Structure 1
């Protein structure tokens, strides 16, 4: 076994990761009758997440491939959510709401300011138009860039999912990269499109976990965001601007060097530790993950959650914030 997967197993066995925090009064964060709160969110992106991925020799081809995997996985994920009554917060790239779009005087979405060239841990953008790859057609011709069909499937599900926000075009939101006016324009467009479906966006996830412009989020009516600074079973923190921060516990992903059985054991154990410690468990995933996660890992973990539903409050980011605000 490679060193990194082995060290991860050792740290997990020793309860070093995720770290378990303590609180003198867990009832401030865990509703009466439950032992843990479980939040599960998905970064719903299609091709937008990968178009400038710097670790791939042909990012655009890779982006389309990942979008096709995501489109195949999501209906199965929605079905398992219905089978096991698991609500998810779908942090959705706003462009996916569109059935179609077009260029105006040669420009896609001219009302949204453009990012300047930048580089971060995951992306390298060297052009002058962030929307240069937008096909400006429709979801039938370019299903990698739009998906009102999948959003409709999620919204119409009998499970009470939440549609959250992941910006309009999957931008880097850090203060030094993204001017406040840019994020404001992106969020306004997301809210406009969601509003056409009768949806109110409250929960936010920064693309690439590039955290920034938190005051803009609060000003635009958002109530929470998720971070990945560490893996923790802990408790949410409220910022001065009113936003609640949810620290991640673990990502659903297929890791090299781990068996399917170990993946299942690990996620079940994390949730069990959350119950034993009376902490909040924050799980998340990219729907473009390896289909093996959908086919073999999620059903086993979801089954464990359902068997322990009397002890686990499985809810969305938005509903949890509502409870937190009522019970402060």
Structure 2
């Protein structure tokens, strides 16, 4: 893939839907979903960083009965929406926040994160359910006048890729060795292992744009200790990945959930990363892309290369 280096930022925008199937809820993250979303929109605007916002389709609704009759989810899947969250619409709906993404001056990409955060790799998620989740999210986006090219799997649980292709999705965020936590910090910083990834076209014709780094993978006591004697380890890792992309024609793909921003220090982390990205972009040929943008560019280059091979073969 002959190009200058690039960076992708993708966000799993889910509010309460990211947790509604869990018995015990991370209350700080559930309550921080909206503020984190707003903060990330503001930071992206400040540093002119286009991002892929993978949105749970239900958030684009204004209202619902919480029943979703005919949607083939397991019994009880929408129970929390009907019961505990019946009067917590701010966890279930977010047309205002989605509108903020679409109306931003920055050219963000709207991607799908399914309709209700079903896990596609689970045995109980059959093709009927996977198809319903994808089609419902696409239908709602179409009602907003939006087309969807990219998909981010809930909890990165990959499955039913053929159904993405059948429904017009062209790209998804794939898995790759990540550099989260203490071990990842050692690998990327001490051992200087590359955090760059290479998109590829899978057997279904989809462009897999793998993740490089989850930006909230070094948390808890380890983070507190590291910050007290040095600096935020995730900022260090992100800067290293950005530098690697700036020095090459490779791709560095970092991701997070807006609800990861639960404290001011999380806001500071993201500001430091985006400010550094903006500075390195100004100093080099580094570009910032979306998943869909990378997929379009990669697919175009692949077609040109395939045509060249055909011509050579004719000679």
In 2 relative to 1, CA 261–174 (structure 1 residues): closer, same or farther, beyond 3 Å? closer
Q: Which has the higher strand share?
A: 1
SS at match of 1:143: helix
1:299 alignment partner in structure 2: 271
In 2 relative to 1, CA 239–135 (structure 1 residues): closer, same or farther, beyond 3 Å? same
SS at match of 2:287: strand
2:244 alignment partner in structure 1: 273
What is the CA RMSD across the aligned residues, in angstroms?
2.2
Structure 1 range deviating more: 128-137 or 243-252: 128-137
Cα drift, residue 176 of structure 1: 2.6
For the residues of structure 2 that align with 1:221 and 1:234, how far apart are their CA atoms?
24
1:159 alignment partner in structure 2: 106
1:318 to 292, 298, 311: 292
For the residues of structure 2 that align with 1:148 and 1:183, how far apart are their CA atoms?
24
1:255 to 219, 234, 246: 219
2:82 alignment partner in structure 1: 135
Q: Which has the higher helix share?
A: 2
Structure 1 range deviating more: 133-142 or 224-233: 133-142
User: Which digits, 9 at most, give the CA deviation of each residue in 1:244-299, with x for residues without a partner?
Assistant: 11221101115232324433222111211222343111110011113345421111
For the residues of structure 1 that align with 2:171 and 2:122, how far apart are their CA atoms?
18
User: Which digits, 9 at most, give the CA deviation of each residue in 1:218-269, with x for residues without a partner?
Assistant: 0011111112341241210101211111221101115232324433222111
For the residues of structure 1 that align with 2:210 and 2:135, how far apart are their CA atoms?
26
Gaps of 5+ in 2: 179-194, 303-315
2:58 alignment partner in structure 1: 95
User: Which digits, 9 at most, give the CA deviation of each residue in 1:21-62, with x for residues without a partner?
Assistant: xxxxx41xx2xxx2x1211100111111112336xxx33xx3
User: Which digits, 9 at most, give the CA deviation of each residue in 1:189-214, with x for residues without a partner?
Assistant: 11111112111111111111111000
Q: Answer yes or no: is 1:39 the counterpart of 2:8.
A: yes
1:109 to 47, 68, 76: 68
User: Which digits, 9 at most, give the CA deviation of each residue in 1:128-165, with x for residues without a partner?
Assistant: 22111123999985111111110011110000111111
